[in-house]
Structure 1
Amino acid sequence: MTDTTSSCPYCPLSTAAGEPPGGWVYRDDLWLVHHGPAESSRPGTMKIVSTRHYTDFAEMTLEETVSFGSLLRALDAAMRAGTDAERVHLVSTRDRVQHFHAWLYPRPASHALRGTDFLNAPQRSEAADVDLAAEAVRRHLSGPAPVSG
């Protein structure tokens, strides 16, 4: 079920031979999950990308809708267990790249900022921290519950 668009920078991800920094945290027929870029993400930041080309929640199939909720639940638990996150913030604007994707930002309890102040603050990490955080989340991820139809 992979619809792609040649001009979309995210469409080739599902068939790419290489792995993103930190490796794939989760990958199935519907979703790709990997750590965000070190230069703009704190350790543990995850990016979820649909394998099928569409932009909005309203364009999801029922299977995608159900599996996205299950994936969010599993990633939230794994990110809190694998990082020092007290909260995991979900952001999905799809304004720059019009292919469905969402970001999960772990906010530690010790961070002085909360909510949108935290999200608006500069974020970055070192490449080694990306690898460690991705592995920690992967280790705690039991995977989303199977979708039954």
Structure 2
Amino acid sequence: MRSITLSTGKTVEVECLSCALTSGLVKPDGGAVIETNHFHAHQDVAYPIKGLIILASKRHIKSFDELTDEEKLDYINTITKIRKAQREVLGIEHVYYFYNEDTTHHFHTWMVPRYEWMNEFGRSVESVRPVLLHARHKMNNHENIRVVLEATKKLKIALTSF
């Protein structure tokens, strides 16, 4: 078991956070923005950044080459829909995508939006970790959480119409 601290400060004990989220054992604030047969997408539970979406496989796998053909199609279609909603509903112009295979969770992709306030940390992949830590430590307040949850709600509504 691992201890995971959520953006709300709440700590959960899980073996795999992705499994806990996709199965409903741990509910992300705002719930799933979209769920398909193979994937579950939600606002990141650790970093309160508006529109930071995690797209996780429901099946406990580690890498792209483990996806079935059906899962591959579902993945690209779902991530494309989410990106369209981020742009159209939240006005997010740029997104950094991250996927790694040495994670303690299973297959998931981070869709990290870029906002003007992030420029003070730089404009490269190296800036992402300081941005995330800034959000966790400096933006974890009621007003920002309200903004994040409102954005999550907007994405969820938009994704039901695509």
1:35 aligns with 2:57: no
Sort the Cα spacing of 1:12 and 1:42 in 2 relative to 1 into closer, same or farther, 3 A: closer
**Counterpart selection for 1:121 from 118, 126, 130:** 130
Instruction: Give the partner amino acid of 1:119.
Output: V
* Separation (CA, whole Å) in 1 of partners of 2:56 and 2:110: 9
Q: Normalized against structure 2, the TM-score is what?
A: 0.73
Superposition map of 1:60-71 within 5 A: 60-71=67-78
Q: Secondary structure at the match of 2:60?
A: coil
Partner of 1:147: none
Q: Is the 8 A contact 1:44 1:83 kept in 2?
A: yes
Q: Is the 8 A contact 2:55 2:110 kept in 1?
A: yes
Gaps of 5+ in 1: 1-5, 145-149
* Separation (CA, whole Å) in 2 of partners of 1:90 and 1:24: 19
Q: Is the 8 A contact 1:83 1:106 kept in 2?
A: no
Q: Is the 8 A contact 1:78 1:137 kept in 2?
A: yes
CA-based RMSD: 2.4
Instruction: Give the partner amino acid of 2:146.
Output: A
Partner of 1:55: 62
Sort the Cα spacing of 1:110 and 1:80 in 2 relative to 1 into closer, same or farther, 3 A: farther
Instruction: Give the partner amino acid of 2:159.
Output: L
Q: Report how many aligned residue pairs link the two structures.
A: 138
Q: Is the 8 A contact 2:33 2:156 kept in 1?
A: yes
1:139 aligns with 2:147: no
**Counterpart selection for 1:14 from 22, 25, 32:** 22
Gaps of 5+ in 2: 1-13
Q: Is the 8 A contact 1:86 1:109 kept in 2?
A: no
Larger relative helix fraction: 2
1:96 aligns with 2:103: yes
The structure showing larger relative contact order (alpha-carbon pairs under 8 Å, at least 6 residues apart) is 1
* Separation (CA, whole Å) in 2 of partners of 1:24 and 1:15: 11
Sort the Cα spacing of 1:18 and 1:121 in 2 relative to 1 into closer, same or farther, 3 A: closer
How far is 1:84 from its partner?
A: 3.0
Q: Secondary structure at the match of 1:105?
A: strand
* Separation (CA, whole Å) in 2 of partners of 1:87 and 1:131: 20
Q: Normalized against structure 1, the TM-score is what?
A: 0.78
